[in-house]
A and B are shown apart, each in its own frame.
Chain A
Amino acid sequence: MKRFALLLALLCTFVPLSASAGEELEVKRVELDSLVRFLRKNTGRPVYYVKDEKEQSTFTLRCSREALLDSVRPLLAEKGYRMSEYGEALFILHSQSIRSSLPYGYFDRTSGADNDSTLRKYLADRNMVATFANKVYEIGEKEAGRTGKVYVSGHVRDVASGEPLVGVSVYDGSGLYTVTDAAGFYKILLPVGSSTLNFSGYSMDDLHLSLLVYDNGGLDVTMKEKVTALKGAVVSADQISHHKDAIMGVEKVRVNMVKKIPTAFGESDVLKVVLTLPGVKSAGEASNGFNVRGGSSDQNLILFNDNTIYNPSHMFGVFSAFNTDVISGIELYKSSIPVEYGGRISSVLDVRGREGNSKKITGSLGIGLLTGRFHLEGPIIKDRTTFIIGGRTSYSNWILNLLPKNASAYAGGRASFRDLNVNVSHKVNGKNSIHACAYTSYDGFSFSGDTTFRYSNLNLSLKWRSNFSERNSMVATAGYDGYNSSLENSFNRYSGYNYSTGIRQAFAKLNFKTILNDSHTFSYGFDAVYYMLNPGAMAPLSSEEVSFVKNTALPMQKALEPALYFGDSWRVSEKLSFDLGLRMAGFLGMENSCFYGVPELRVSGKYSFRPDLSIKAGFNSMSQNVHLISNTASVSPMDTWQLSNASIKPQTGWQAASGLYWTVAEGKVDISLEGYWKKASNMLDYKSGAVLVMNENLVSDLVPVYNRAYGVEFMVRKSIGKLNGWLSYTYSRSLLKEMQDRGPETINGGGWYNAPHDKPHDFKLVGNYKFTHRFSLSCNADYSTGRPVTVPIGVFRYGGGKRLEYSDRNEYRIPDYFRLDLAVNVEPSHYLKKLTYLSFTLGVYNVTGRKNAYSVYYTTEGAAVSGHMLSVFACPIPYLNLNLKF
């Protein structure tokens, strides 16, 4: 009770405005704070309350002492507050936030709500939900008599929805620092005594809590969304983490920002946002996949709730596979790759799903030009088990139906997709939680009648999080990922076929985190992936009885990829820190029992000259055993995956990088400059004329190549204020070179040649300006050098017609690219007491209507050879996107 006494003392420093000592009690037009003081004084009971900050109303009361509680209850209810009793104590909470402020360990209770044991447990746990900056929170018993440092841990949640807040910076004044994990959990080592604990991140109001620390203890925190700043339009990698972490090359974007960035058809798109980040490029707009710092598109590990997504796009790149209604944000690791990730050599894109609202059922409906979507979320067991379901479907066929018959090669074409996410989270107790995620998607596309492409993803995962002791936490994950693609060709009755490829994998991960002391945090564990890869199977079309096509399948490729890792976040001093990690990656091929073991080094260091000026440097090495075999400019459903084997060695690569980070303008603007140098070996390119489909001896059509990439990325980012966004310029190169000399057949004579996504100059601007709470203007601009292409340099007559003679591979470039998009976002008023909220976005994609080259190609008709440039979005495309929340 001591702690509460102190709290009371702190809170009761003001004298109530009016309180009669006699039978008749009266207060006139007092605010809630005063009313509470009045209640405390006149009932003699402890009163705890959480005031809704928007609440400005006053209370007037006149009643007898005996009837005080009965009179206060309806008065509070009128203003949206609820008063409940736990034993002696009274709790006054705003009805909308009542569940947001539940005590740590609240869910452990098994008895009724009014049971005294609840409060006792509550008190015994010495945990509390902190939302007020002007209170002092005691952690642990004073009697514990501890000295030195102790752990304070807890969850950080959104006050309105109860959703865990990921990536919130938690730090004290002395430089001790941590970040909340994917479950919103933090753990920080604090000195015994008084401290100030700061919470900041995303678009939340900064929270500064005064603590009196006696012993290890818990402190759950709820944070409110910033109301004055632009809602959500703040990039989360805030200035603090830049100067605290040794890790470099990390980009974080919250989903609110994702929803602001204009896209071609108004459908907010995670991957399009990834493309606005420096160091990320693609083969062209509306193309599958992306390239990070000169790496190829199969070198990105794309994780969605720990599941690997092999095809992250719908409709071959027009839309991304991720429904923004069910994700909380993304993290892209371009340089320092945390030691728990492996298997790809270029980057990790971690797309994080959201937990459902733990308080009430909410949802949304959205309508765009080509797509419709819905999502529904809420508690199954209040505050304990939540669900979130999201789905999307396209209805683009109407556009194709608008085409005149016979006038277009596309008449009769069909394109559609759908996807569904289901996430269920269950809190077992204060320390353990279980998360189940399922994702499935389907894409179908046919054109010119006889060819149909299909591809689908199926991903399932089950995760157990446990903070099993003060210093140790654990995450165990197991799951299944499946990706299949097929091509159905009905060009001929007898020879029509169905060609399919696919990759399936089962995985398990076990990750531990141990805080040894305030300078060492260990991260260690192991993971294993079991691959089952279908490199190609051909079957007759099921609809035809007579067929010459036989059922053929290339042998299934199976392999186990285990890895063991250990990492240490070593904080030498406030100024100097290191991230050191070693990952032992293994690969065991099942068919011909080949084994590869590759040690991977992950090292980075940081030195801060001042709290707002730091330099970092890092070195990473990686390896990869799944290779995408493609001879198209963009990832195509006809591409096949290939596992390493006795003749195909693992791709290995390293990256050395360093950077300068400077926060200026009172912490509002971050300036960063990063440079990198990368080298990779045993990447696979195809020989000229290679056959990639149903090729039993595929390895003979492939050549191992070196990749050399280097670049400098300059970025200015403003995260706070009415105007926010980022501006970046990148100079980078990515070159390939065959590893072997194959004489005259060697690609480009054995010299370095441009990678297909090598675009040296790249300028990007993403901005958002908030005029009022409801209206904001978003802008997105992108300029880059044209992508390399192979073009005809001559013509010859052969086989009865004119044929084209081509230049060396990727020797020329298409014209430079420029695009400007604008959008106006209109949000519903925050205070509307309505059941539904309608928000909408009105935008124009490619405002200047610049005819950007998507690709160039040449045709030979008659005597003349003519060049053509295809522009996919050749005119400004207006769009309207409606979103209905309920």
Chain B
Amino acid sequence: MTLLALLPLVSCVYPFSIEAPEGSGSMVIDGDILIGGISGISVSVSEPLAGENVYHVPQCKVWVEAEDGKTYNGISTDNALYHVDLMNADPGVRHKLCVKNSSSGKQYESDWCEVTAAPTVERLSHRLAEDNETVELGISAHGNGKESHYRWTYTETWEYHSFYEAKFYYVPPTAKSSGYIANFTDRENIYYCWTSRPSSDIMIFDTSLQSENRFEDLDFLSIPCRDNRLSVLYHIEVYVEAINEDSYRYWNNIRTNSGSSGDLLSPMPSSMRGNIHCIGNPDENVIGYVNAAYVASAEMWIDNDKTGYYLVDRSSVDLPEAIAAEDWYSAYMYKNMRPVDLEVNITGGEDVTWAAANCVDCRLSGGTKEKPSYWPNDHI
């Protein structure tokens, strides 16, 4: 982005498309051999640029072979993912991943992989960035084996609530009854929600040029202070594995290819071969690099009551307004509003106040009512 910075007043970015043929339909094998755990392997093919869906390859046979002769067969949970139980695999021997596509009859195998030792995650950390607008999450870890390259992923889970806590819900009229307002029970609330998602960025680090095989407080995730992830309680679990240099290069190449800024000073994209080959047809391009590893994990909680990171953005929130009973249906149906609370009016009676559905119903912000089993608070 260097040049852009110099010429911000005259440079612009426009949409662009090039007429290129559709994707090669290459086999994509995604997943590592996780010794002492359960490996999740997905088998798909690359899709055209404009494609919306992932083309999973169904009915594959997936297994892991060990050099000591053991074979661990995978089981298909759904058509997308195959699980291989490697709880009892021997880390002292090399392993390889094998996939047989039942419909084409082709078999794919990775190179033999040495199992890398699990690194130690010393600490996960969080801090407010200098701009006071984002929270930076950092990781500190050190290696325990000969490898000096690392890759990690994470799963973040957070609780948030809707802007207004609704006391009631509205039951629309039916042929038998007119519409009415009913009280929520605690269990029925649409105030607390939980969301979880895995990481999609590629996080890798190389310590080979350092005097110590470790890294400290390496920022890997920025969360804006106005993001609802920080609003109540946030949980992150990070999974770190040591990888070899080839694997690091492969991941780094994919990261560079997908995150190009268009600068002439950025490396040009290039396709790189992984360590998976089609048996009998070495020229076939197979996407994926399999690594065999012991994975280390660590978790961290960020509680907004203690950190105060969250900045409430009220600009898009309207105050609840009182709506007369005869207008409830249209507010519900056409204005997409939901009841919130009761309000005493001038006459001393009580009106029901309504607000926009997304201010009331947390589920409309992407979450669900499924509270994780390990969640420490008593919200329901």
Contacts and interface: CB of A to CB of B under 8 A. Distances in A.
Contacts of A409: 1, 4-5
A744 B284 CA distance: 8
Contact of A805 (B7, B26, B219): B26
Contacts of B374: none
Contacts of A789: 268
A548 B200 CA distance: 28
Contact of B16 (A802, A803, A867): A867
A798 interface: yes
Interface in A799-822: 799-807, 809, 812
Contact of A793 (B5, B49, B216, B273): B49
B305 interface: no
B279 interface: no
A820 to B, nearest CB: 16
A854 B6 CA distance: 14
A491 B269 contact: no
B316 interface: no
Contact of B251 (A399, A745, A799): A799
Contact of B262 (A453, A549, A792, A856): A856
A402 B5 CA distance: 12
B219 A492 contact: yes
A873 B18 contact: no
B177 interface: no
B13 A689 contact: no
Nearest to B32: A799
Contact of A803 (B17, B50, B257): B257
B58 to A, nearest CB: 15
A870 interface: yes
A415 interface: yes
Interface stretch (A321-329, A380-388, A632-640): A632-640
B20 A873 contact: no
Given A854-B264, A873-B7, A744 B271 contact: no
Contacts of A497: 209
B321 interface: no
A548 B252 contact: no
Contacts of B287: 796, 798, 805
A410 B2 CA distance: 8
B311 to A, nearest CB: 14
Contact of B264 (A284, A315, A402): A284
B282 interface: yes
A577 to B, nearest CB: 43
Interface residues of A, number: 92
B54 interface: yes
Interface in B167-224: 198-202, 205, 207, 209-212, 214-219
Interface string B107-136: 000000000000000000000000101000
Contacts of A745: 273
B61 to A, nearest CB: 21
B276 to A, nearest CB: 12
Interface in B32-70: 42, 44-52, 54
Interface in A423-460: 445, 447-448, 453
Given A632-B268, A799-B202, A863 B52 contact: yes
B265 A316 contact: yes
B49 A792 contact: yes
Given A796-B44, A855-B264, A315 B14 contact: no
Given A799-B202, A872-B11, A743 B18 contact: no
Contacts of B343: none
Interface of A: 283-284, 286-287, 315-318, 396, 399-400, 402-403, 406, 408-410, 413, 415, 445, 447-448, 453, 491-495, 497, 538, 548-550, 552, 631-634, 636-638, 688-689, 691, 694, 743-745, 756, 789-807, 809, 812, 851, 853-860, 863, 865-875, 877
21 contacts: A286-B7, A316-B6, A316-B265, A318-B7, A410-B8, A492-B218, A495-B215, A538-B209, A548-B214, A550-B209, A550-B211, A638-B265, A793-B23, A793-B24, A794-B24, A794-B47, A799-B251, A854-B264, A857-B262, A867-B15, A870-B262
Interface of B: 1-18, 20-26, 28, 30, 42, 44-52, 54, 131, 133, 153, 198-202, 205, 207, 209-212, 214-219, 249-254, 257-273, 282-283, 285, 287-288
Closest 5 CB pairs of A and B: A794-B23, A801-B200, A857-B262, A869-B16, A550-B211
